[in-house]
């Protein structure tokens, strides 16, 4: 009986090892077919400029071959992920030393990482296989320029642009610098003019124009600069007075004329291929003709570091420390850190992404506490000699403490319009401020549009319009001035404070000489608030003269 029960199992069990063997033999073939399909798909994506998708496709390839490693390395390079590119390209070279152009891409990635010796060795290894590639001559020229071999660099860079227009305007820009370094002025100007023609309005064109100016003056790029601006301004609302709000007894009016000045100077103490750093000092001051209580002095010391991430991408981190006085008394101490990413898109304009993290310490007391009332609006105060009183349980001195931390996140994009030599800038900013007191904590959404137009007779016209929605987190401790009556408890509104702020400005600047310019500026600001004391508008008109220089 037991033998009869086992015999069917033995008959069906014999084919299983054979099936397993077949599957084991076919598995590599199946995996290879899947890998081939992935490589084909990823290669098509790379050629279409979609390297991020190509890397996703290749992520599933098991035991990647040398071509897969090479493809990964090229895609990491295109995405400016240079450390990953070097790792993949080294692996590809070790697995398949016969691969064409792997040394070329390795040299390019090492150059971008600042490893000039490694880049030199890789490009030498690529010499026999990559002579027909524009990238080989481009990076060879860049290395020769680093070694101050200006003549050889110019020839290499010219050869690169002859082989492919894809290396422009980079090749022509650095060829211009190379020709300038070998005292071939006509060739240098021709190369720089070519950059301006190829990429009008781009960072390349601006740098080429500056290089032409330096070439004409025979000077190296300046490491220090300064400008001083002085002017007279009329301000119709110096005290930011809202309609219906009485002025303090010691202030006769809200409008005045003032002298204002702005002095700025900077020095770049570090300048390398991908790094630069410097210090600057900015000082703003004003002196009113009558309302001397509002005279300001505000110096700011700044330190910045720039890191070039790619040919058209730069990261900047700046630290600012400022201290302000009003009427000779300390008013504000501030610390700000601002990282900014600059990206140039050539003919499509340029972008700026930034974030500011700041701490404000106000060095004055906004107001003292108001005497508490009975808790019934418009009822008599507890003492018949009290001028006025407020709702009980509110500490105005504490709630109006402005000290706190803030955050601003912003994005801006500038694009040439293609007519009237005008650039248009649009942007958005998110603001958040957390004050120690409840009165001044808010978040805000701000939108702005700016234009800059080059006019005949060396004039510039700039306009700006912005709108900010600023909802505060709490209701205000400030009453409506019309509700404050003698020996009565004033009421407070129950809804949170909300401000809508509009700003419009127009500036016209005329350059008088290379170092001197004159400017007229009109600015209008309307702050609409559901809290009366913060509801105001303001107009200013200013005339200024600016002197600037660099060296």
> Which runs of E-coded beta strand occur in 272-377?
275-288, 296-310, 313-326, 329-344, 350-362
Beta bridge partners of 317: 305, 339
User: Domain 34-217 is in which class?
Assistant: mainly alpha
Bond into 491 cis (ω within 30): no
* Contact in structure between 448 and 411 (CB atoms under 8 Å): no
- Residue 392 has, within 13 A of its CA and on its CB side, a CA count of 7
CA angle, 32 then 34 then 40, to 5°? 100
Local structure of residue 488 (DSSP, 8 states): B
Residue ranges of the chain that CATH labels 1.25.40.10: 34-217
CA–CA dist 88, 310 (Å, integer): 20
Q: CATH for 305-541?
A: 2.40.160
pLDDT tens for the chain, 551 residues long, are 444 444 444 444 445 555 455 444 554 444 455 566 778 887 888 888 888 888 888 887 777 888 888 888 889 888 888 898 899 888 888 888 788 888 899 989 998 888 888 989 988 988 888 888 899 999 999 998 888 888 899 999 999 999 988 888 889 999 988 888 888 888 888 889 898 888 887 778 888 888 887 777 654 556 889 999 999 999 999 988 887 677 665 666 688 999 999 999 999 998 876 789 999 999 999 999 999 999 999 999 999 999 988 767 899 999 999 999 999 999 999 999 999 999 888 677 889 999 999 999 998 876 678 999 999 999 999 999 999 999 998 998 889 999 999 999 999 999 988 777 889 999 999 999 999 999 999 999 999 999 999 888 889 999 999 999 999 999 999 999 989 999 999 999 889 999 999 999 999 999 999 899 999 999 999 999 999 999 999 999 999 999 998 87
**DSSP 3-state assignment of 98?**
coil
> By CB neighbour count within 10 A (0-12 exposed, 13-18 middle, 19+ buried), where does 108 fall?
buried
Residue ranges of the chain that CATH labels 2.40.160: 305-541
CA–CA dist 408, 90 (Å, integer): 42
Structure tokens at 70: 């090479």
| CA nearest neighbour of 88 among 120, 134, 140, 42 | 42
CA angle, 145 then 148 then 149, to 5°? 80
| CA–CA distances in Å: residue 155 to residues 127, 149, 221 | 16, 10, 24
pTM beyond cutoff 0.75: no
Structure tokens at 260: 């204002």
């Amino acid at each position: 009986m037991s033998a009869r029960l086992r015999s069917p199992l033995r008959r069906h069990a014999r084919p299983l090892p054979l099936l397993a063997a077949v599957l084991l033999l076919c598995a590599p073939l199946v995996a290879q077919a899947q890998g081939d399909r992935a490589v084909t798909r990823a290669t098509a994506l790379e050629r279409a400029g979609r390297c991020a998708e190509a890397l996703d496709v290749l992520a599933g390839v098991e035991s990647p071959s040398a071509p897969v490693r090479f493809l990964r390395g090229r895609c990491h390079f295109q995405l400016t992920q240079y450390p990953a590119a070097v790792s993949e390209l080294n692996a590809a070279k070790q697995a398949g030393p016969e691969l064409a152009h792997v040394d070329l891409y390795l040299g390019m990635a090492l150059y971008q990482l600042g490893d000039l010796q490694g880049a030199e060795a890789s490009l030498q290894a690529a010499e026999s296989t990559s002579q027909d590639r524009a990238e080989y001559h481009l990076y060879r020229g860049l290395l020769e320029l680093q070694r101050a071999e200006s003549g050889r660099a110019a020839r290499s860079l010219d050869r690169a642009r002859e082989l492919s227009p894809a290396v422009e305007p980079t090749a022509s820009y650095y060829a211009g610098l190379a020709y300038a370094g070998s005292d071939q002025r006509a060739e240098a100007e021709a190369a720089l003019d070519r950059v301006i023609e190829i990429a009008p309005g781009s960072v390349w064109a601006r740098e080429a124009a500056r290089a032409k100016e330096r070439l004409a003056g025979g000077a190296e790029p300046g490491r220090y600069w300064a400008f001083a601006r002085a002017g007279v301004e009329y301000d119709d609302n110096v005290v930011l007075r809202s309609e219906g709000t009485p002025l303090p007894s010691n202030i006769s009016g809200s409008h005045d004329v003032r002298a204002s000045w702005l002095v700025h100077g900077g020095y770049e103490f570090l300048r390398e291929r991908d790094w630069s750093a410097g210090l600057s000092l900015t000082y703003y001051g004003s002196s009113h003709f009558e309302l001397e209580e509002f005279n300001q002095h505000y110096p700011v010391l700044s330190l910045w570091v720039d890191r070039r991430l790619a040919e058209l991408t730069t990261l900047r981190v700046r630290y600012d420390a400022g201290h302000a006085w009003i009427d000779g008394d300390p008013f504000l101490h501030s610390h700000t850190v601002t990282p900014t990413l600059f990206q140039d898109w050539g003919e499509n304009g340029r972008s700026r992404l930034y974030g500011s993290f700041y701490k404000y310490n106000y060095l004055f007391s906004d107001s003292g506490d108001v005497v508490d009332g009975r808790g019934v609006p418009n009822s008599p105060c507890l003492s018949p000699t009290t001028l006025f009183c407020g709702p009980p349980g509110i500490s105005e001195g504490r709630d109006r403490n402005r000290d706190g931390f803030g955050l601003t996140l912003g994005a801006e994009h500038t694009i040439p319009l293609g007519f009237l030599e005008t650039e248009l800038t649009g942007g958005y900013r998110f603001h958040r401020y957390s004050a120690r007191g409840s009165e001044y904590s808010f978040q805000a959404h701000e939108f702005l549009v700016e234009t800059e137009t080059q006019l005949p007779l060396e004039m510039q016209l700039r306009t700006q319009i912005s709108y900010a929605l600023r909802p505060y987190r709490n209701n205000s401790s400030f009453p409506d001035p019309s509700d404050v009556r003698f020996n009565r408890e004033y009421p407070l509104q129950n809804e949170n404070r909300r401000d809508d702020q509009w700003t419009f400005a127009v500036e016209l600047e005329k350059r008088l000489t290379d170092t001197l310019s004159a400017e007229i500026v009109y600015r209008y600001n309307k702050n609409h608030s559901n809290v009366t004391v913060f509801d105001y508008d303001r107009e200013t008109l200013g005339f200024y003269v600016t002197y600037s220089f660099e060296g």
